[in-house]
Structure 1
Amino acid sequence: MTTEVRSLREFKMPDVGEGLTEAEILSWYVKPGDTVTDGQVVCEVETAKAAVELPIPFNGVVEQLFFPEGATVDVGTVIISVAVAGEAGAAPAAAPAPAAAEPAAEAEPERREVLVGYGPRTGGSQRRARRTTTVTAVATPKPAPAAAAPAAPAPAAPAVPAPVAEVPGGQRPLAKPPVRKLAKDLGIDLRAVTPTGPDGVITREDLHAHAAAQAAPAAPAVEQAVVEATEAVAAPVPVSGAGDVRVPIKGVRKATAQAMVASAFTAPHVTEFVQVDVTRTMKFVRKLKESGELGRDVRVSPLLLVAKALLTAIKRHPEINAQWDEAAQEIVVKGQVNLGIAAATPRGLIVPNIKDAGSRTLSGLAVALGELVETARQGKTPPADMQGGTVTITNVGVFGVDTGTPILNPGEAAILAFGAVRELPWVHKGKVVPRQVTTLALSFDHRLVDGELGSKVLADVAALLEHPKRLITWG
């Protein structure tokens, strides 16, 4: 019967961003034989932009997982098949299905849904996102080939990973995606970790405590973690020589590498430096913290004032907030400043940005900056927050680094590096006294930013940090 031929539905890897071509499967949340419902998250994948969860778009019973955790899958490739509930394929078939199959005359019209907040949607109602980074995607049901029966999956499919054993009570260990990624990198089985977080959620601290308790005189922890992480890939990664480790370049790190190469060999970089006495700025930060002027729960840091100083300098010199249009041979001066903040995460360096940061008050900027940093740390930054940036700040000072020559984020004209704040001997009011000093470095695209404009912007930022009260009068 035709219902037996059409009993299996295939769910393909969707394009969860804009034009992405592949994604890595981080975790499967289901296994063959599990019952799934429309909208249920079945796996977590990592793209070049973010980690996202994929919900299944129909009800049924999981028939097959086509790829193991750690595999990189091209967009459009089938990753899971589901026997639709109520049809013959929902249970194991005792005999092959008939050879003939009717055309799928009543198949649903094709619908292409992309990441929440991206692109047009056609046909059907919008599905509710489980989280900010949840992807809602619908696979178009297709009639199975005439010779294919529900009980006989395609022989070319990769081996399915062994099912994850359930912990007592039948519950899967609770942990956020970044924690699961860390556990994977460290080679820790979450089922063996004692959770201390709210509602039994496993935290980073739990993983580190578990790792410390299980530590043995073997290979260095970081090296061992990398080795175990590479073992999760479908094909073994050869390791040559004593202690050599080969790490696959994929996901965020692959995208970062490609972007930096493109930027370095496309835009002619110029970097200028300036040392700044930020003693008054550091006092101002302490005052804002103690007074609670910006809000009781708002995090105040020197980076906040650096960001405000840069935004104020851009307001005075808007030509630096620009983009080079190679096709039109034009310089496009942007109407608003989308301020990017470089953030180091377990998956690599990302640069989410605060939309229209130039229009925000100091308090509003502090709130947005705090939310951006926290979301990045949790690994929940959606791709929308990493697109459309116009200028970037990289805070290398948090690593104790004085300065550097930062590479431009592709498509942007400038990036400011904020170095470590150190107590140094400084001439102040005619005397050499200890002052708190930092080094700023501004890299810019010399095609559209000449030395005069770059120097004026950097000098303005330095002046504002040396005399932070000017942030009020200049802004």
Structure 2
Amino acid sequence: MANAIEMPKLSDTMEEGVLSAWLVDEGDEVSSGDVLAQVETDKATMDLEAFDEGVLLRKVIDEGDTVPIGELIAVIGEEGEDISSLVGDGEGDGAATADPEAEPEPVEPEDPAGEPEPEPVEAAPEPEVEPEPTGDGQLREREPEPVPAGTDAEGRRIKASPLARRIAQEHDVDLERVEGSGPEGRIVRRDVEAYIEEREAVPEPEPVPEPEPAPEPAVAEEPTYAIPDEEAAYESEDISQMRKTIARRLAESKYSAPHYYLTVDIDVEKAVELREDLNELAEEQGRTKISFNDLITKACALSLHDHPYVNAAYRPDEGEIHKHNRVHIGIAVAIDEGLITPVVRDADRKGLSQIAQETRDLAERARNRDLEPEEFEGATFTTSNLGMFGIEEFTAIINPPNSAILAIGEIRETPVVEEGEVVPGTRMKVTLSCDHRVVDGAKGAQFLDTVKSYLEEPMNLLL
């Protein structure tokens, strides 16, 4: 029995996926666990595995196509099996396909009663082309309608994927000149790109220089300014699955969760000194060095124990607030396509060295789009650090369904007043974005005060 392969839900926020590459061909035998294709989701590029054994009978979509969750991608079954009920096109493997161009064979009418056969009905004549009047009172024949785009000279639609059509339109490529390599001769992205490369590889003939005209007497002219070409005013770029999800989720968060912001300036001189001492020891022992962000992760994780509403989620569909019993810190990592938040799980139970090692491993694999779904889902609180870019202070949008996110600014040297005297100081500003449906102002301020106390007396992070 043939089995349908549908677009799976590969992450908790995924709504559609892009089939980035097929790894098997039609007619290949596959076993359960074999990787059929690679799918780009909103978080990573992941393998699509087969759950059944058989032959790949049909690829329903092409590389580069975007399809929603649950839509048919391919069909696996026994060789020669009829799959028309799955693909819905009335075709089956091994079955003869009707030629739409072929004329039906005439059927001899039965005449048991010996009655005379009816006379054949003549075909309706083709409609005449109506002449239309011209301005001089004469008549002329109406111009034929232009051939629609994406069709050949005879008006038949050219088989091509939506992505191939868009690339062809952007590069002024006539699809009738492109040879398709997809199923049943369908034109896909790689065919159009190959045609464009071949076209650009042909050298253009060098222009024949025209004779220089005789110089004219110099005349003072007004300066002219080049007007930019409208078509070259911008470059278009397809929206990735990750960027689509970021736009949707953060827009929902910003306009559904009532945000408010609390900022505190922290004395981090002792924390900087502790980090230097710990890294000297880590270098001697060959362990991963600790970043200041690791200290903040640990401080937040311990603080969340004392402030459960900051470690909670608002669930309007269930009419509940979920106060999480475990602390999972999501750490925002910037990658080319946008932002992803790998999760350090049970951060409150881990030492600084373990947090440092896990954070670096997760961040590296996030940039390579090599994270598993369980490694970027399930955060109960999130941090975002732009201090390395010289940003002193900023506000972040809450990562749903969290109730808060901490925005971390740069560590700066600044004069401060201590005991009535101006002295050098080492400070850092952090801003907590809170969902007012869960975290009231006092609760948010108390959480920040606890975080501040850990960073100003960082030895408590080691206890």
TM range (shorter): 0.5 to 0.7
Per-residue deviation at 1:356? 2.4
Query: Do structure 1's residue 48 and structure 2's residue 48 form an aligned pair?
Result: no
Map of 2:151 onto structure 1: none
* Cα 1:350–1:427 shift into 2, 3 Å: same
Alpha-carbon distance between aligned partners in 2 of 1:301 and 1:407, rounded to the nearest angstrom? 24
Map of 2:367 onto structure 1: 377
Amino acid at match of 2:380: T
Query: Do structure 1's residue 421 and structure 2's residue 415 form an aligned pair?
Result: no
Give the 5 Å matches for 1:54-203: 54-58=48-52, 62=56, 64-81=58-75, 84=78, 87-88=79-80, 147-150=91-94, 159=160
Q: Secondary structure at 1:69's aligned position in 2?
A: coil
Alpha-carbon distance between aligned partners in 1 of 2:441 and 2:37, rounded to the nearest angstrom? 50
CA offset digits 1:336-391 (Å, max 9, x no partner): 11211111123321122222222223333333323322331221222223332211
Q: Secondary structure at 1:247's aligned position in 2?
A: coil
* Cα 1:288–1:47 shift into 2, 3 Å: same
Q: Secondary structure at 2:92's aligned position in 1?
A: coil
Q: Secondary structure at 1:319's aligned position in 2?
A: coil
Largest Rg, 1 or 2: 2
* Cα 1:19–1:252 shift into 2, 3 Å: closer
Contact (CA 8 Å) 1:395, 1:418: kept in 2 or not? Answer: yes
Alpha-carbon distance between aligned partners in 2 of 1:152 and 1:415, rounded to the nearest angstrom? 61
Which consecutive residues of structure 2, in runs of 5 or more, have no partner in the other structure?
A: 101-156, 165-179, 183-189, 195-228
Alpha-carbon distance between aligned partners in 2 of 1:74 and 1:157, rounded to the nearest angstrom? 24
Relative to structure 2, which stretch is displaced further, 393-402 or 69-78? 69-78
Query: Do structure 1's residue 16 and structure 2's residue 6 form an aligned pair?
Result: no
* Cα 1:150–1:284 shift into 2, 3 Å: farther
Which consecutive residues of structure 1, in runs of 5 or more, have no partner in the other structure?
A: 1-5, 90-96, 104-140, 165-183, 189-238
CA offset digits 1:148-188 (Å, max 9, x no partner): 33477999996478669xxxxxxxxxxxxxxxxxxx9xx99
Map of 2:259 onto structure 1: 269
Per-residue deviation at 1:306? 0.6
Contact (CA 8 Å) 2:344, 2:358: kept in 1 or not? Answer: yes
Of 423, 427, 434, which residue of structure 2 is paired with 1:444? Answer: 434
Q: When the two structures are aligned, how many residues end up with a matched partner?
A: 346
Map of 2:175 onto structure 1: none
Alpha-carbon distance between aligned partners in 1 of 2:41 and 2:87, rounded to the nearest angstrom? 30
Amino acid at match of 1:247: E
* Cα 1:153–1:248 shift into 2, 3 Å: farther
Alpha-carbon distance between aligned partners in 2 of 1:12 and 1:417, rounded to the nearest angstrom? 40
* Cα 1:81–1:331 shift into 2, 3 Å: closer
Query: Do structure 1's residue 396 and structure 2's residue 390 form an aligned pair?
Result: no
Map of 1:221 onto structure 2: none
Alpha-carbon distance between aligned partners in 1 of 2:5 and 2:12, rounded to the nearest angstrom? 19
Query: Do structure 1's residue 244 and structure 2's residue 234 form an aligned pair?
Result: yes
Relative to structure 2, which stretch is displaced further, 289-298 or 18-27? 289-298
Map of 1:279 onto structure 2: 269
Map of 1:408 onto structure 2: 398
Map of 2:308 onto structure 1: 318
Query: Do structure 1's residue 350 and structure 2's residue 347 form an aligned pair?
Result: no
Seq. identity, %:
33
* Cα 1:150–1:434 shift into 2, 3 Å: farther
Contact (CA 8 Å) 1:66, 1:158: kept in 2 or not? Answer: no
Alpha-carbon distance between aligned partners in 1 of 2:302 and 2:324, rounded to the nearest angstrom? 15
Map of 1:460 onto structure 2: 450
Alpha-carbon distance between aligned partners in 2 of 1:325 and 1:64, rounded to the nearest angstrom? 42
Map of 1:338 onto structure 2: 328
Per-residue deviation at 1:147? 4.8
Q: Secondary structure at 1:340's aligned position in 2?
A: strand
Amino acid at match of 2:73: I
Contact (CA 8 Å) 2:57, 2:93: kept in 1 or not? Answer: no
Contact (CA 8 Å) 1:67, 1:158: kept in 2 or not? Answer: no
Amino acid at match of 1:25: L
Alpha-carbon distance between aligned partners in 2 of 1:65 and 1:21, rounded to the nearest angstrom? 21
Relative to structure 2, which stretch is displaced further, 281-290 or 48-57? 48-57
Contact (CA 8 Å) 1:62, 1:80: kept in 2 or not? Answer: yes
Give the structure-2-normalised TM-score: 0.64
* Cα 1:145–1:67 shift into 2, 3 Å: closer
Alpha-carbon distance between aligned partners in 1 of 2:388 and 2:297, rounded to the nearest angstrom? 15
Per-residue deviation at 1:145? 7.5
Contact (CA 8 Å) 2:283, 2:289: kept in 1 or not? Answer: no
Per-residue deviation at 1:331? 3.2
CA offset digits 1:191-212 (Å, max 9, x no partner): xxxxxxxxxxxxxxxxxxxxxx
Contact (CA 8 Å) 2:297, 2:347: kept in 1 or not? Answer: no
Per-residue deviation at 1:439? 1.3
Alpha-carbon distance between aligned partners in 1 of 2:159 and 2:248, rounded to the nearest angstrom? 29
Give the structure-1-normalised TM-score: 0.63
Per-residue deviation at 1:328? 5.0
Per-residue deviation at 1:260? 0.8
Relative to structure 2, which stretch is displaced further, 50-59 or 332-341? 50-59
Contact (CA 8 Å) 1:422, 1:436: kept in 2 or not? Answer: yes
* Cα 1:143–1:405 shift into 2, 3 Å: closer
Of 349, 354, 358, which residue of structure 2 is paired with 1:364? Answer: 354
Q: Secondary structure at 1:420's aligned position in 2?
A: strand
Q: How large is the Cα RMSD of the aligned pairs? A: 3.7
* Cα 1:323–1:35 shift into 2, 3 Å: closer
Alpha-carbon distance between aligned partners in 2 of 1:25 and 1:328, rounded to the nearest angstrom? 35
Amino acid at match of 2:67: V
Alpha-carbon distance between aligned partners in 2 of 1:246 and 1:143, rounded to the nearest angstrom? 34
